[in-house]
């Protein structure tokens, strides 16, 4: 009798264990299906190697450069040595493309690198000024925001993103792992899908947004407000106040505010935000890479945040060339300050003393 009871109890325990395991597998499998569905919304672009264009353009070479201070500052990106890289730091370039005009691929008027630094537990934002006069590989010297359309002409959005990345790498020496493209029309929708963005406005900023953003409410005043997509978009593009340096600061303000908004969110909120927004961007990240970043998003968003700009103060001079008014970077200084900002005291390939 006791033996029968024992056998029944063992069978019961085994059946319960099998049932629980089956439930776990069903839940896990459903999660994978959902994750795959979520990630399938993204516009993925193929990784491509940089190659000379088929036109008569040729790479910038030392023999083609004159000895003026401008070209000496720019140097030759094709001869630049290895890039600074740390496996504990992921650099992702966000490109905001102003493709709002018909039949125009636009330029990358917003270029911001997000560095996820797991070594120092920090999120680092670096803005690159669009009017930086740099050497674009195989295309001579031009404004930095011209790299995207030049690459687009060769290989669509993938080529545009790749050439923008390669140009920054070649001129400033820091390895950029991946890029994300956000076109003009997607920006408003992304902000609205995330429930707006909280920004502190000056009276002048509020007045301009009311007048030109296209948002019908027109009720902003000096102070802190939750901006809609249209309002945040215009705020990020304001040019009538200050200069382009302040414009990049506003762009960093928007991204910082979005990160702060989700710092205390739960995984359900994060999943919804991803579901609402992933289909509006293009990237050369793989599904596995996106899944890994999403799975660790709550950890990363609770890192402390720091900001940087290229060029920094006293790291450039302004002049006018054939492509218009530009900022010519003192490239060595810009590179040194960027490397120090990204890697801090753990600069790859250098001693700590």
pLDDT tens across 142-179, in order? 999 999 999 988 888 888 999 999 999 999 999 999 99
- For 115-121, what is the mean pLDDT? 95
- 252-299 pLDDT, tens digit each: 999 999 888 888 777 777 777 777 777 788 888 888 888 888 888 889
Residue 342's nearest CA partner among 179, 181, 180, 175 is 175
Question: What is the phi-psi region of residue 214: left when phi exceeds 0, alpha when psi lies from -120 to 50, beta otherwise?
Answer: left
> Residue 56 — pLDDT band, cuts 50, 70, 90?
very low
Q: Mean pLDDT across the stretch 53-58?
A: 45
Q: How many angstroms separate the CA atoms of 242 and 84, rounded?
A: 34
pLDDT of residue 25: 46
The residues with which 113 forms a beta bridge, in sequence order, are: 93, 126
pLDDT at 142: 95
pLDDT confidence bin for 73, thresholds 50/70/90: very low
The string of pLDDT tens digits covering residues 225-258 is: 999 999 999 999 898 888 889 999 999 999 999 8
Q: Using an 8 Å Cβ cutoff, are 194 and 273 in contact?
A: yes
Closest C-alpha among 291, 284, 266 to residue 37: 291
Measured CA distances, 51 to 45, 58, 160, 176, 242 (Å): 17, 11, 12, 18, 39
Q: Residue 113 above 60 pLDDT?
A: yes
- Report the pLDDT value the prediction gives residue 32, as an integer from 0 to 100: 39
133 contact partners, CB below 8 Å, separation of at least 6 = 70, 74, 141, 142, 143, 144, 319, 321, 323, 326, 327, 328, 329
Q: Please, what is the average pLDDT of the chain? A: 80
d(CA 162, CA 283): 10
Q: Are strands 43-44 and 141-143 parallel, antiparallel or unpaired?
A: unpaired
List, as one string, the DSSP characters of 239-254: -SSS-HHHHHHHHHHH
Q: Which residues contact 335 (CB under 8 A, 6 or more apart)?
A: 171, 172, 173, 174
Distance CA 15, CA 155 (A): 57
Residue 266 to residues 3, 192, 271, 272, 283, Cα–Cα distance (Å): 49, 19, 9, 10, 25
Percent of the chain with pLDDT over 70: 74
Please, what's the largest Cα pairwise distance for the chain? Answer: 101
Say whether pTM exceeds 0.85.
Answer: no
How many percent of the chain have pLDDT more than 90? 46
What's residue 180's pLDDT?
Answer: 92
State the pLDDT at residue 41. Answer: 55
CA 303 to chain centre: 17
Specify the pLDDT at position 102. Answer: 59
Residues in the chain: 353
Cβ atoms of 224 and 199 within 8 Å: the answer is: yes
Residues 311 and 132 sit within 8 Å (Cβ to Cβ): yes
**For the chain, domain boundaries:** 40-343
Predicted local distance difference test score (pLDDT) of residue 350: 53
Out of 37-46, 111-120, 238-247, give the one with best mean pLDDT: 111-120
Task: Give the span between the Cα atoms of 140 and 124, in whole angstroms.
Answer: 30
Q: Indicate the class that CATH gives domain 40-343.
A: alpha beta
DSSP letters spanning 128-196? E-TTBEEEPTTS-EEEGGGHHHHHHHHHHHHHHHHHHHHHHHHHH-B---EEEEEEHHHHHHHHHHTT-
Residues in Cβ contact with 212 at an 8 Å cutoff, skipping those fewer than 6 apart = 234
* Cβ-count burial 240-254 (b if 16+ within 10 Å, e if not): eeeeeeebbebbbbb
pLDDT band at 28 (very low <50, low <70, confident <90, very high): very low
DSSP 8-state symbol, 62: G
Neighbour count for residue 67 (Cβ, 10 Å)? 7
- CA-based end-to-end distance of the chain: 78
Q: What is the DSSP string of 113-133?
A: EEEEETTTTEEEEEEE-TTBE
């Amino acid at each position: 009798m006791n033996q029968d009871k024992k056998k029944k109890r063992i069978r019961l325990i085994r059946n319960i264990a099998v049932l629980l395991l089956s439930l776990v597998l069903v839940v896990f499998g459903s999660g994978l299906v959902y994750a795959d569905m979520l990630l399938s919304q993204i516009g993925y672009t193929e990784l491509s190697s940089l190659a000379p264009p088929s036109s008569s353009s040729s790479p910038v070479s030392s023999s083609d450069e004159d000895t003026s201070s401008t070209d000496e500052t720019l140097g030759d990106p094709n001869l630049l040595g290895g890039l600074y890289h740390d496996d504990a730091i992921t650099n992702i370039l966000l490109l905001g493309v102003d493709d709002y005009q018909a039949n125009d691929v636009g330029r990358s008027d917003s270029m911001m690198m997000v560095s996820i630094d797991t070594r120092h537990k920090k999120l680092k934002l670096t803005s690159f000024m669009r009017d930086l006069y740099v050497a674009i590989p195989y295309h001579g010297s031009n404004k930095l925001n011209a790299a995207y359309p030049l690459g687009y002409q060769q290989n669509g959005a993938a080529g545009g993103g790749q050439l923008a990345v390669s140009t920054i790498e070649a001129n400033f020496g820091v390895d950029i792992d991946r890029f994300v493209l956000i076109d003009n029309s997607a920006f408003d929708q992304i902000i609205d899908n995330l429930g707006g963005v909280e920004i502190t406005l000056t009276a002048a900023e509020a007045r301009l947004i009311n007048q030109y953003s296209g948002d019908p409410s027109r009720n902003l005043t000096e102070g802190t407000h939750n901006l809609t997509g249209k309002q945040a978009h215009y705020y990020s593009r304001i040019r009538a106040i200050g200069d382009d340096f302040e414009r990049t600061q506003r762009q960093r303000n928007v991204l910082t505010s979005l990160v702060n908004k989700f710092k205390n969110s739960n995984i359900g909120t994060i999943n919804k935000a991803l579901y609402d927004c992933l289909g509006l961007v293009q990237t050369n990240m793989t599904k596995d890479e996106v899944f890994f970043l999403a799975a660790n998003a709550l950890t990363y968003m609770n890192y402390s945040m720091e900001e940087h700009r290229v060029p920094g103060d006293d790291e450039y001079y302004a002049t006018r060339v054939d492509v218009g008014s530009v900022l010519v970077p003192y490239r060595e200084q810009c590179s040194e300050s960027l490397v120090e900002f990204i890697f801090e005291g753990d600069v790859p390939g250098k001693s700590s003393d």
